[in-house]
Amino acid sequence: MSMLSEGRPTRQEDNLQMTDTGSITTHTGNRALMVDEPLIFEIGSPDRSGVDLPEAPPVESRLGGLEREAPMAIPGLSEGETIRHYTRLSRQNYAIDVGLFPLGSCTMKHNPRLNEKMARLKGFADIHPLQPVDSVQGALGVINELAVWLIKLTGMYGVAMTPKAGAHGELCGILCIRAGLEARGDAREVILVPESAHGTNPATAAFAGYKVEDIPANAAGRVDLEALKARLGPDVAGVMITNPNTCGLFEPDMKAISDAVHEAGGYVYCDGANFNAIVGKVRPGDLGIDAMHINLHKTFSTPHGGGGPGSGPVVLSEALAPYGPLPFTERHADGHITLVEEETVEDRHPHTFGRMSAFHGQMGMFTRALAYILSHGADGLKQVAEDAVLNANYILRSLEDVLEAPFAHSGPCMHEALFSDKGFTNELTTLDLAKGMIDEGYHPMTMYFPLVVHGAMLVEPTETESKAAIDQFIGAFRSVAERAKAGDERLKSAPHFAPRRRLDETQAARKPILVWTEDEDFAQAAE
């Protein structure tokens, strides 16, 4: 058992006790090595520079009277100051290389450095998508081999590699469904989305022009099969289902759901964001899935976050594969690989709905994902799923005595553990607990999602965390949860030890300050 769960005061509790009797302040506002770094506009000025450049020779203007009338007010720093500024800012970030990332459904796992080394090899890192096909055979071979692995692991028939992320992959799958229906002259208007699906699913269906209808969950947190069957009809194009679902549970009726949808003339889209829980154990194709996106940054360890680069290949059933997007790779008997695009499609892919993006996909992510797959092999990937599920159930059972686990009665969870805020006192909320976790040195878990659970807290440890790391997290989580149930007022103002205190999130959303407004001294320096 972690020392944090044996009644020993945490560092946070020690410091909070000190704060109650008067906290120590510093002249700089810094906290030892955690520097309170100002904005670059506040420490730089336009009349300073880290380099000396010769005066530019006069040139004839080509701006037609649109020239600047005054110098740009860009802050300047010396080279050393610039490096320190951005290094200090980077230390205020949380990252998987800093600690456990408990974000549920996001699968924030360790990114093996071997993958990074492979992605930086000459021939992968420095190529251009417009190079002649014969000059990038190795890169196309990586794309093709990864595609073969994804088809093998999912038990599907084809794969589209071009989608750039999960939501992009969802759109690809729904467009394939639309193309398949249009090819048979069947204009259907409705997509069914269970309550336990990912939030992007209804948005994707609506973006593709479909009406969206909810399917309720049963008491066990899974799709209500009878409610789904009752709604199926000639207007239903398909269902978008997440399996394992966002409650962290596997859908045991998945095959029955697929059979019912197919019998009604629709298609089945599966959100593959949680594939990490079943990779190597379950093949979605065997469950009747027609299309499923795979987040390479989740299941196959490519870097996650920062807005990209992402990658969301979509595996397709035999029924939908003819409608997949271009381009795609094609390996011939002699080993040579070609790209099938609009100008070369001929009769081999006449029903494609077109392109999802300009080029073939995110090469860096493909290289990293294939390196990860080849490092593990089929048996290793199976263990990935088993260890991820084991870690999540360890967290679930270690905390269910202090936090309500609404679906713990349904049996073991899959890749993530779900808790609620039931039992919190003094008007404390899930948000307060999350802010308290920041003081403990952790990025908060996923909050208020799924919507079917009040005050939801969704925790996914992944398979790459050790028992020691998970024990430490459990101890911290338990400590803050006990304080929330005891009504500790100090949680309402947490975090206390972060670089920035708690923000007014309502005002930040309604009245965001998106630009820095220069003060008078800065403006004078610019002149």
The residue ranges of every structural domain in the chain are 31-50+70-92+501-527, 114-371, 379-500
Would you say 241 and 273 are in contact if contact means Cβ atoms under 8 Å apart?
A: no
CB atoms within 10 A of CB 105: 23
Task: Find the helix or strand (DSSP H, E) in which 267 lies.
Answer: strand 267-271
Higher pLDDT, 359 or 518: 359
Query: β-pairing, 457-459 with 446-447?
Result: antiparallel
Q: pLDDT band at 180, cuts 50/70/90?
A: very high
Is 320 within 8 Å of 267 (Cβ atoms)?
Answer: yes
Q: What is the pLDDT of residue 416?
A: 97
pLDDT at res. 18: 38
Structure token pair of residue 502: 């708690």
Phi, psi at residue 391, to the nearest 5°? -65, -40
pLDDT over 70 at 527, yes or no:
no
pLDDT digits (tens, 9 = 90+) for 186-197: 999 999 999 888
State which CATH number among 3.40.50.1820, 3.40.640.10, 3.40.50.12780, 3.40.50.2000 fits the domain covering 114-371. 3.40.640.10
Report DSSP letters for 450-517, one per residue. Answer: STTSTT-EEE---TTS-HHHHHHHHHHHHHHHHHHHTT-GGGGG--SSSSS----HHHHHHS---SPP
**Which top CATH class is 379-500?**
alpha beta
**How many Cα atoms occupy the beta-carbon half-sphere of 518 within 13 Å?**
15
| pLDDT, greater one: 26 or 142 | 142
State residue 359's pLDDT score: 87
* Three-state secondary-structure class, residue 468: helix
- Total residue length of the chain: 527
Amino acid (one-letter) located at 408:
A
Cα gap 231→228, rounded to integer Å: 5
Confidence of residue 242 (pLDDT cuts 50, 70, 90): very high
207 neighbors 326 (Cβ within 8 angstroms): no
pLDDT one-digit tens code per residue, 211-228: 999 999 999 999 999 999
In the predicted structure, residue 7 carries a pLDDT above the cut 50: no
CB 377 within 8 A of CB 279: no
Count Cβ atoms within 10 A of the Cβ of residue 506 and give its class: 0-12 exposed, 13-18 middle, 19 or more buried: exposed
pLDDT of the residue at 498: 87
- Top pLDDT among 181 and 304 is at 181
Contact 217, 195 (CB under 8 A): yes
The whole-number pLDDT of residue 11 equals: 37
pLDDT at 169 over 90: yes
- Whole-number pLDDT of residue 2: 33
The Cα 410–Cα 350 span in angstroms is: 47
pTM of the model: 0.88
User: CA-CA distance, 364 to 361, in Å (whole number)?
Assistant: 9
Q: Judge contact between 224 and 256, C-beta under 8 A.
A: no
Q: What is the pLDDT of residue 508?
A: 87
Question: Higher confidence at residue 43 or residue 395?
Answer: 395
pLDDT of residue 526: 58
Mean pLDDT of 306-332: 86
Residue type, position 24, single letter: I
Beta pairing class for 337-340 and 328-331: antiparallel
